[in-house]
Structure formats: structure tokens, C-alpha cells
Amino acid sequence: MSNATLPLIIKSLHPVFVAEVTGVDLTRPLSSDVRQAIWDAFNEHQILVFRDQALDDETQMRFSRSFGTLERMEAHAANDYRPGHIAVMTNLDADGNRLPSDHPAMVHRERNEMWHTDSSFKPIGALTSLLHARIVPPVGGNTDFASARAAYASLPAARQAALEGLQVIHRVIAPNEGADTKAYSEEQKKRLTVVHPLVRTNPANGRKNLYVGSHAHEIIGMSLQEGRALLDELTALCTQPQFVYSHVWRVHDLVMWDNRCTLHRATIFDKVKYQRKMHRTTVAGTMPESLLARLPEPVAA
Ligand code: OGA
Ligand code: MN
């Protein structure tokens, strides 16, 4: 079966975002036409669902690299401080045994249950994450997604204008997260405290969105409380039911989401009774046009 001859079918799964893509075998190399069609659909629909893709880590990484450079994870308890290109979301240890709920890896992964966007604590947030289902529980363990683009579009023009230009401090971990602040080293906490604009623009189509989530902690020029209240209000706006899609996983689903304009969160399942194992690759973002424009001209050698 060759990908070049397959017609790609893109079917909407939700009124404001998310499409299912069929007619492509992601275990095989993509033709440039198919790659382009997937990229265009991604920019339009923000989240793409591919079913029945029997990927392993190699083929998942190859498909992911069609869209850019893979991020290396940060070292933390959930990767045994040995970060690579694959993040494993699971309640199992390497031998397939259930991890106790107070295990550091489980505590670490619980943070995924807050609405967030991947790597917003890095100087350049992630472009896309690709999550592939290897083992899924029979009930629970959905991943919820929210369109921060549809949320922005729902605001009156005057409110959009008032938000434009605001700058947000994102951190890998909140300064007040108690004992858990040990989850990251002082070096990481310093390096992974960054500033991003509150309103982002997709360079491919000019569509704007809010860029918020659990790593967004403060707004520059506002008091802590004022900034917190605005970030909470905007996260609540983005995660209203009409902007949310909940993905019910089947084994061998691959979901590819746009971290620039969507939020996501893990949902609970019975972690004592059931197993769940998902492998994630993450494609690094590129520098926004607005920053590129400020870079000095390269100096001739
Ligand atoms: C992630 C993530 C949610 C889930 O992989 O980045 O947040 O449902 N996962 O496992
Ligand atoms: Mn995530």
C-alpha cells in the first residue's frame, strides 16, 4: 500500500475544531503531497485524529519529524531523570506493574489533569504533540481538548483589542506548589520561566488565539491577584463546553494537537484497576515572526 495513491479524507468531529484523517498509513513514509495536506488540515482544524495506526516509537518519531525538530523532554520523575524524545504517559512501571498513586512519576503526571499546553514554559512553546495509544482503560482516561482560537473569536472586538499586547509569565512549576517544587531543580526553574504574549497568531492563516493554561502564572504590569483572576477567567472561557472535545481513546489512535492554539488535560480513570500507556512525541515550535523581526541582521563572515 502506498501513501501516494491514497485519497486523504478529512472529516470534522466537532463544530469548532478537530478532524479525523483517514486514507493514510502513518507507519509508511509520506509523499510530500500527503504531508502538505496533513499540515494544511492541522492549521485549519487544530487537532487531527488518526485511527488504527500501528506505530512503534521509530515510526511515530519519523511521522512527527515531518513537521519539525523533536523536543527533548526535561529531566523529571516521570522519565527517571533520563529524558529522550518519547514521553510515556502511564500508570505502569517498566515491567508493566501498576505504580502506587504516591509514586513520584504518578504525582508528576497528575499535573496533566490541569488544562495546559505543552512546553509553554520553554522560550519557544511546542508546535505539536502527538499522542499514541498503546494500552487504554475500558472506561475513563479520555483526553480533553479546548480551542483557544474559538474562544478568542467569541470575544467582542474591544475585549480582543484590550488583551492584545499583554505579556504572560509561564513557569514549569508554580512558586507555591509546596513540597512538590522539588520536582524540578533550581536550574530548571530558572531556565523554564519565560514570557509569552497572551494573544498569538497562526502565521499560516492569521487566526488569533489566547495562549494560557496551567503554566501561565502572572501578567506583566498587573498585581499577582489581578493577573491570576484574568488568567483564570480566560482559561474558563476557553474550556466552556462548546469549545471542548473529549477524545475517547482506542488502541492505536494517534492524536496530533496544535499546542499554539489549544489546551488539553488528562482525565481520571481507575488507576488501581486499569492500565493506560500512551507514547508522546513533541515537535518544537519555531520563533514567532514578531521575535524574528527583532533579531539583528546576520553578520557576514
Ligand atoms: C500529554 C498529556 C494527557 C493524557 O501527553 O502532554 O497531557 O491524557 N497527556 O495522557
Ligand atoms: Mn500535555
Burial level of 296, CB count in 10 A (0-12/13-18/19+)? exposed
- CATH of residue 117's domain is 3.60.130.10
- Please identify, by atom number, the ligand 1 atom nearest to the C-alpha of residue 112: 7
> In sequence order, what E strands does 107-165 have?
126-135, 143-147
* Residue 295 in this model has a pLDDT that exceeds 60: no
Q: pLDDT class for 141, splitting at 50, 70, 90?
A: very high
Task: Assess whether the C-beta atom of 126 lies below 6 angstroms from ligand 1.
Answer: no
CA 54 to centroid of chain Cα atoms: 22
* Residue 2 in this model has a pLDDT that exceeds 90: no
Alpha-carbon distance of 289 to 270, in angstroms, equals 44
Residue 296 lies in a domain: no
pLDDT (0 to 100) of residue 301 = 41
Task: Assess whether the C-beta atom of 112 lies below 6 angstroms from ligand 1.
Answer: yes
Gap from CA of 282 to ligand 2 centroid (Å): 10
Q: pLDDT class for 130, splitting at 50, 70, 90?
A: very high
Gap from CA of 232 to ligand 1 centroid (Å): 21
Residue 101 lies in a domain: yes
* Residue 100 in this model has a pLDDT that exceeds 70: yes
Alpha-carbon distance of 176 to 28, in angstroms, equals 46
Gap from CA of 7 to ligand 2 centroid (Å): 31
Task: Assess whether the C-beta atom of 129 lies below 6 angstroms from ligand 1.
Answer: yes
- Please identify, by atom number, the ligand 1 atom nearest to the C-alpha of residue 141: 8
Task: Assess whether the C-beta atom of 69 lies below 6 angstroms from ligand 1.
Answer: no
Residue 294 lies in a domain: no
- Please identify, by atom number, the ligand 1 atom nearest to the C-alpha of residue 280: 5
Residue 297 lies in a domain: no
Task: Assess whether the C-beta atom of 200 lies below 6 angstroms from ligand 1.
Answer: no
pLDDT (0 to 100) of residue 80 = 85
Gap from CA of 161 to ligand 1 centroid (Å): 32
Lowest-pLDDT range of 91-95, 218-222, 267-271, 297-301: 297-301
Lowest-pLDDT range of 30-39, 106-115, 120-129, 282-291: 282-291
Which residue's alpha carbon is at the smallest distance from atom 3 of ligand 1? Answer: 266
- Please identify, by atom number, the ligand 1 atom nearest to the C-alpha of residue 264: 7
* Residue 286 in this model has a pLDDT that exceeds 90: no
Residue 189 lies in a domain: yes
Which tops the pLDDT comparison, 128 or 297? 128
pLDDT (0 to 100) of residue 291 = 54
Q: pTM for this structure?
A: 0.93
Task: Assess whether the C-beta atom of 202 lies below 6 angstroms from ligand 1.
Answer: no
Mean of the per-residue pLDDT values of the chain = 92
Alpha-carbon distance of 79 to 102, in angstroms, equals 16
Gap from CA of 300 to ligand 1 centroid (Å): 44
Q: Pocket of ligand 1, candidates 110, 129, 247, 271: which has the most ligand atoms within 8 Å of its Cβ, to mutate?
A: 129
Residue 293 lies in a domain: no
> In sequence order, what E strands does the chain have?
9-12, 19-22, 47-50, 87-90, 126-135, 143-147, 167-171, 193-197, 199-201, 208-210, 216-219, 244-247, 254-258, 262-266, 277-284
Q: Can you tell me the mean pLDDT for 1-25?
A: 88
pLDDT (0 to 100) of residue 7 = 86
Residue 197 lies in a domain: yes
Q: Can you tell me the mean pLDDT for 199-211?
A: 96
Residue 299 lies in a domain: no
Structural domain range at position 27? 3-286
pLDDT (0 to 100) of residue 177 = 75
pLDDT (0 to 100) of residue 180 = 62
**What total of structural domains would you count in the chain?**
1
Q: pLDDT class for 299, splitting at 50, 70, 90?
A: low
